[in-house]
Amino acid sequence: MSTNLDIIHEDQSLLVINKQCGLLSVPGKGEEKQDCVVSRAKELFPDLPIQPAVHRLDMMTSGLMLLVRTPQAHRNLVRQFQYRLVLKRYTAIVEGDLLEESGVIELAFRLDPENRPLQIYDPVNGKQGVTLWRKIAREPSGTRVEFTPLTGRTHQLRLHASHPMGLGSPIVGDYLYGSGNDGDRMLLHSCFISFNHPENNNPCTYSSEPPF
């Protein structure tokens, strides 16, 4: 298994990884899905907790991801995510042009058990997802957008971008919710994260330029 990871910060409590597109965050089911950020990190840092990931990025999403190195850091950061103390921003290119400059998307959705891992809009049984967005620029391949998710639902940004009650403009390369094909480079990148350090409570911020 490869141990290639882009580690942009490490200390005794945590690691900040710049995840590449196409790499799983955590192991999946089956031998072919064991190569991931967590498995590679454990090869480099054998003392990591059993579950060092406190959040995940989709396989085709690139960018900043946190791993913890101690159970205490895990409890602290899980609590920060739970109480929305962690701020994350993403850069994406969505299909077509957007008429508005910015807005808030609030849509409830849930897993479609007959079409895993697809998430579907369900205002009755779904869990509410909230995303702030703003248009950055019109580009030849679509519109560059900044997303700030206030909740952390599965596929939240992908569904909020694609759904007619959201932007109605899927993320370029998204094969589940847009016109991309399985294996395409999805133009979604976790470009900013801020949180309080789990050991000393000092504010920490990290940025990563999108590769598109």
Active site residues: 58
Residue type, 35: D
Residue with tokens 């480099």: 44
CB-CB contact of 187 with 92 (8 Å):
yes
DSSP state string for 141-167: TEEEEEEEESS--TTHHHHHHHSTTTT
